[in-house]
Structure 1
Amino acid sequence: MSEYLSKAAAFAQNAAKLSKKVSEGIVENAREFGLEATSSGHYFDTSEEKMRDIKRQLDSRHDREKMDGLKRLIAMISKGRDVSEFFPDVVKNVASQNLEIRKLVYIYLLRYAEQEPDLALLSINTFQRDLADQNQLIRAMALRVMSGIRNHVISPIVLLAIKKCVTDLSAYVRKTAAHAIPKYALVDIITTLLNDKSSFTIGSVIMAFNEVCPDRFDLIHPQYRKLCKMLIDADEWGQIAIIGLLLRYSSQNFGKKKSEAFYSDDENSEKSDDTFDDSFILDPDHELLLHSALPLLQSRNSAVVLAVAKLYYHLAPLEEAYKLGKPLVRLLHSHRENQYVVLANIATMAIQRPSLFEPHLQQFFVRSTDPAFIRNLKLEIMILIATENNITGLLRELQEYVKSPNKEFAAAAIQAIGHCAIGMPEMAESCLNGLMRLLWSKNDAVVAESVVVIKRLLQLRPQDNADMIIQLAKALDQITVPMARASIFWLVGQYSQNLEKVAPDVLRKAVKTFTTEADVTKLQIINLGAKLISLHPTDNTLNLLFQYMLDLARYDLNYDIRDRARFFRGLILIDIKKENVDEKAPSEESPSAGRDRFTIGSIALVLNHSIPGYEPLPDWTTEKPDGSLRDNLDETWGHNRSIKGFGSDTIGNYAPSPTFDKSFSKKRNDNYYDDLNRFYESEEISEDEENTGKIYLYVHFIN
């Protein structure tokens, strides 16, 4: 028994020792990652004691203590805390042999080097040594910090550093050099970097080009075809920059008109239009750009898809532009902010090219969860893409929206019905009948909006509206909304020559309730009386009724009503003349009207207002382009390119993109484009098919 107890005690003692070691290990690992178990707010405690503790850690001789202090500083920076007071203590560690410490020091310096340029100069020698470091991250970060120190004293040194990094073996370092160029406007270095064969670097080079010399298209001529080929392999934001550049380039070198003088010898052709037709023959380089950008419509980045849509909308003929519909609709299954931007661009494109989105009408049907700003844009788009083939289904959908308990939404749906009737006169009768049934709705807002829309529609058919106006007049007892009542009185007065028996009775009933009506209604009642007196100046009853109404208006609280009554009294007493008012039929304008003056995909288009920094597309050229300018002697760039990574200087080699020549569209992988065209031509596609299609398209493109 005693032996058993001794073994149990020994076991318990060993277990306690093991538990203690495990606890110590956990605490040690927590400290190594900059965490402490004593307080969950250790990183963000800004008391003086903690500040002194960080300073002590930065001055420590142990790397683990320094790393802990630096991580706490970086955490404070991420929360917006100003920790520039530690700059001298951090700079002392810039030459540390520990790679992790140097990375943290560089991150800190990137934040505060511009604020403390004099202190940053103390470590300039270290930065220069780091430009020759074996690790590409150290070389790149050293250049970033040097270019971030705004001090004219070291400008020559920074320029030499940039020129050195431009020829670095690492694409990541060359990319960093491209980001440093705009700070010094180095056009000659941009020229050198444009010859870079790495798709990892080219996006940053184009961004620097757009910033420094956006109009130097002479530098782009020999690189044009290479940029088209590299487009598929560039990073997402680089793709956006490249597409924007090539769009501006194309407007100056290909032209947009369908005049065959661009690509033929017929210089006297008089054809001119803003869109392409089926007989338009594209320049091979123009076609190269469109085919190179096509796979990017399947990008997971909505900004890339929108950039390609901008390219196709402005450059592609109609038989190619139809491919924009499905990718843009796919973006609607995203956050509502993204939806709004995409819908605003779709609405702008639908004004000029509604056929692009007609097959996708159902995708714009309003959902119960859609916010108001999404809902209104969807209604606008549905109106723009309405055709004889889909108008019946669209009207059924709008009639369902009218039943919504949301008064604003119901009113917007009624307005949409009116827009459809005005845009398609053959459907006006059907729309009017539906709106007339809404006059007996229990929703005052629906009744009021229906009257206003009916008023606009009846102006389109002045010779055949008496019956409907009579029905409206009968509904006056149930209609209480001032604007609706005012619209009915206006209609009765405007077409009173066709309502000889009804109009005087409407005036009689209106005078009885004149003092209780709203101001906008009173004005229309006075107008109605003046029009009837003009038509029947000898009718004694009408004269007495009109005089009585003017007496009531004479003492009204609203000065506009008093002035209107005084004006008609003087006019009628002096000389009664027949009033013949010819008003133009209403012309409905889309809420997105005016957006088309901005470039697709721009913030100015979304806001429908010009903003600082917005640059419109250059005017399209009217001269025949010289394709020889884009001839590049080095067409083998794609066979030896590699992408540089972060862990080491070379991650791996990518297969070259297919080469292009003047007969691009014929020599291209026909199977790939046949499959791609079938993908766009299909009407429905599931989410699994869409994801599979993205992988399939990308694999076929790079192979």
Structure 2
Amino acid sequence: MSDAKYFQRGKIQELRTELNSEKKDKQHSKKKIVLKKIVANMTMGNDMSPLFPDVINCMRIPVLEIKKMVYLYLINYSRTKPDMAEMAIPTFIKDAEDHNPLIRALSIRTMSYINVDKIVDALVDPLRHCLRDRDPYVRKTAAIAVAKLYMHDKVLVESEGFIDLLRNLLIDGNPTVVANAVAALTEISERSENILLKLNLAISIKLVTALNECSEWGQTYILEALMSFVPQEIGDAETLCERITPRLQHANSSVVLTAVKLIMYFINYMTKEEDITNLCKKLSPPLVTLLSSGPEVQYVALRNILLIIQRRPDVLRNDIKVFFCKYNDPIYVKLAKLEIMFRLANADNVDQVLSELKEYATEVDVDFVRKAVRSIGRLAVKIESTADRCIAALLDLIQTKVNYVVQEAIVVIKDIFRKYPNQYESIIGTLCENLDNLDEPEAKSAMIWIIGQYSDRIENSDELLDDFLFTFLEEPVEVQLSLLTATVKLFIKRPTAGQALVPKVLKWATENVDNPDLRDRGYIYWRLLSTDPVAAKAVVLSDKPRISTESDNMEPILLEELLLHISSLASIYHKSPQTFIHHSKARALIPSAVLNRNRFPGQRQPPPKNMLDDDFTTGNLANFESNPYNVDAVNIGSDGLVENLLLDI
């Protein structure tokens, strides 16, 4: 608070006069005050660069506090005044040999910040000596300075042998020096195309030993560096995991998540299933503890947990209650918890989960309610024994007549019909009562699919589709595609009811729309119906593959990569870091004699999509003739098309 008085706009000339004053000032207190004013003005954004020569003259004063302020000034203005910054080189070199280790370290640190060619060249010799300095504070500062120097001049760092000097620091007796050397080597290896951080078992054990005496950030860097060790013999991974597991109890969330990442990595190099099971059990308590932190840390933990349970479902299998949402959780935390609840749900705990989801579906937050309703439907698809209860819950929600609840319920009921055909058609009447509430494309598409799929069981299915067709040309493509397919299904199942709709829809799809997907599908339906109606019936009404929740699983290759990036932005975005970080290096499990090849148990690829169902894409057109629509062959609007089809079906 006492320094607040310095944050007032000062005049350059007045500050220069005070700085060059020749009045007696044995303790240099007046110069300290002036420099504080200069730094304060610099912090406020006022241009203090005209004082460059005057400030440099103060570098010779052997007072640490003054040197700190002068060096801060140099870092700030050296980019705009590179020629004048060179005037400080003699003093920098002198300070790098000072008897006070704080001044030696301060000199090296400041020079490494300044990207001026002559200063970078002048830094080489002092930096080499400081990497071997007798004081650990100087050595740890010099280690980080090498990483900064690498950003300025990669070739210089490699040619001068600084990488080898950093590697020597990995066996330093001071844990802080080891941590900083690891941090520097990690940063350099991330930015270099030819420098890789590779550790052997002896060095890895040495690094693990240093963990106990490092700061929390030093521990994080060391744990991160251990990802560069590839176990080559049975027992290597188990040995390191045994020494790393105490980090799971650390108070810092970064240390905990990095330790989790390292254990998940080493599990891939273990051969005994018993050891893997025991380690998975040890991962649960620390992950649960993270959920008692603030919402931001909770969200990071939840996004990482979502990756972990896809790879190791046994982790947290018995802790589903900790993911139940609290009333004061932020919406992003609630949504993340919902996804994890769904993935951890099984036949034993499904009643608890369903009860929670039904309660969430009555909340006021629209996004949360939508996600809860959709989770109920996904639960029915995932666990067959609970389908009846899920359907009953969805029908109760539909009776609330809340617009967005009804629409989400219809979307997921479509999936339930796909999963369990000919089981729940009795509720279609209830769904049809809510057609007026549908105004979202996804809900409209779902309802249209239901009408088309069960058009032979819905007496007025033709009237319902005709109502939707009234706005066909104004609807989104998603709805238009659904209407086209549903109308064709109606015609095939009930030719008399659909004979007035098919020509109209095909004409719109092929002549009045610009979307290539819709137009191509229209031509294909047209050609099928006009040339071989029997084949059209076999294709359009063929049995669809039953859907499953396995299609929600992440691609195994991407999941494997993201598990190597736990506790990073990639694990939060659920995207490979190469997609949003320039020149980021890809990570993958390196082959080894003990690498577990069966890395993805129980994961299967989703079933192929039916080409002519609502998932149709133009990519499937290759399966047809190169010219599938001979426009002159058939007149879409002719009565002959309908008559011929009626005769063949």
- Same-fold status (TM-score > 0.5): yes
Deviations 1:274-326 (A, max 9, x none): xxxxxxxx33xx33422332222233332222111111111142311332223
Distance in 2 of aligned mates of 1:128 and 1:551: 87
Q: Choose the corresponding residue for 2:9, options 40, 45, 48.
A: 45
The residue that corresponds to 1:653 in the other structure is none
Deviations 1:90-119 (A, max 9, x none): 110111143322232233233334554443
The residue that corresponds to 2:346 in the other structure is 387
The residue that corresponds to 2:163 in the other structure is 187
The residue that corresponds to 2:571 in the other structure is 605
Deviations 1:529-581 (A, max 9, x none): 433332344x5xx36xx326855996899647997889878876776546232
Which is further off, 222-231 or 554-563?
554-563
Cα contact 2:86–2:118 (8 A) shared by 1: no
Q: For 2:552, what is the secondary structure of its paired residue?
A: coil
Amino acid at match of 2:48: V
Residues 526 and 224 of structure 1: CA distance in aligned 2, closer, same or farther (over 3 Å): closer
The residue that corresponds to 1:697 in the other structure is none
The residue that corresponds to 1:360 in the other structure is 319
The residue that corresponds to 2:587 in the other structure is 617
Amino acid at match of 2:411: V
Please give the residue correspondences for 1:531-680 in structure 2 after superposition, counting only pairs within 5 Å: 531-537=489-495, 539=496, 542=497, 546-547=499-500, 559=513, 576-577=533-534, 579-580=537-538, 581-582=541-542, 583-588=544-549, 589-590=551-552, 594-598=558-562, 599-607=565-573, 608-609=575-576, 610=578, 611-623=581-593
Structure 1: runs of 5+ lacking an equivalent: 1-29, 37-41, 255-261, 264-281, 626-703
Deviations 1:166-219 (A, max 9, x none): 232321111111112232341232233223100121111112222445756677
Amino acid at match of 1:226: K
Distance in 2 of aligned mates of 1:191 and 1:384: 44
Shift of 1:58: 1.7
Amino acid at match of 1:511: D
Distance in 2 of aligned mates of 1:555 and 1:156: 73
Residues 87 and 569 of structure 1: CA distance in aligned 2, closer, same or farther (over 3 Å): closer
Residues 181 and 226 of structure 1: CA distance in aligned 2, closer, same or farther (over 3 Å): same
Deviations 1:408-442 (A, max 9, x none): 22111111112222222222222122212222222
Amino acid at match of 1:74: V
Q: Choose the corresponding residue for 1:233, options 181, 189, 213.
A: 213
Cα contact 1:248–1:617 (8 A) shared by 2: no
Distance in 1 of aligned mates of 2:214 and 2:70: 30
Distance in 1 of aligned mates of 2:480 and 2:87: 81
Deviations 1:33-62 (A, max 9, x none): 6554xxxxx52425xxx2222222221243
Cα contact 1:253–1:621 (8 A) shared by 2: no
The residue that corresponds to 2:600 in the other structure is none
Cα contact 1:196–1:202 (8 A) shared by 2: yes
Q: CA RMSD in A?
A: 3.4
Residues 370 and 550 of structure 1: CA distance in aligned 2, closer, same or farther (over 3 Å): farther
Please give the residue correspondences for 1:5-404 in structure 2 after superposition, counting only pairs within 5 Å: 36=5, 42-45=6-9, 50-61=11-22, 62=25, 63-113=28-78, 115-153=80-118, 157-182=122-147, 183=149, 184-185=157-158, 186-212=162-188, 222-249=202-229, 252-254=230-232, 262-263=233-234, 282-283=235-236, 286-316=237-267, 317-404=276-363
TM-score normalised by the chain length of structure 1: 0.70
Q: Count matched residues.
A: 548
Q: For 1:410, what is the secondary structure of its paired residue?
A: helix
Shift of 1:446: 0.6
Distance in 1 of aligned mates of 2:119 and 2:433: 86
Distance in 1 of aligned mates of 2:447 and 2:216: 57
TM-score normalised by the chain length of structure 2: 0.75
The residue that corresponds to 1:630 in the other structure is none
Which is further off, 175-184 or 53-62?
53-62
Identity %: 29
Q: For 2:470, what is the secondary structure of its paired residue?
A: helix
Distance in 1 of aligned mates of 2:329 and 2:398: 27
Q: For 2:16, what is the secondary structure of its paired residue?
A: helix
Distance in 2 of aligned mates of 1:358 and 1:74: 56
Which is further off, 287-296 or 476-485?
476-485
Distance in 2 of aligned mates of 1:217 and 1:555: 62
Structure 2: runs of 5+ lacking an equivalent: 150-156, 268-275, 596-649
Shift of 1:335: 4.2
Distance in 2 of aligned mates of 1:312 and 1:340: 21
Shift of 1:345: 1.2
Distance in 2 of aligned mates of 1:112 and 1:477: 67
Q: For 1:92, what is the secondary structure of its paired residue?
A: helix
Distance in 2 of aligned mates of 1:506 and 1:523: 17
Distance in 2 of aligned mates of 1:479 and 1:113: 64
| Matching of residue 436 in structure 1 with residue 395 in structure 2 | yes
Cα contact 1:595–1:605 (8 A) shared by 2: no
Cα contact 1:187–1:213 (8 A) shared by 2: no
Bigger Rg, which one: 1
Which protein has greater RCO, CA pairs closer than 8 Å, 6+ apart? 1
The residue that corresponds to 1:25 in the other structure is none
Q: For 2:363, what is the secondary structure of its paired residue?
A: coil
Shift of 1:489: 3.6
Shift of 1:447: 0.7
Residues 477 and 97 of structure 1: CA distance in aligned 2, closer, same or farther (over 3 Å): closer
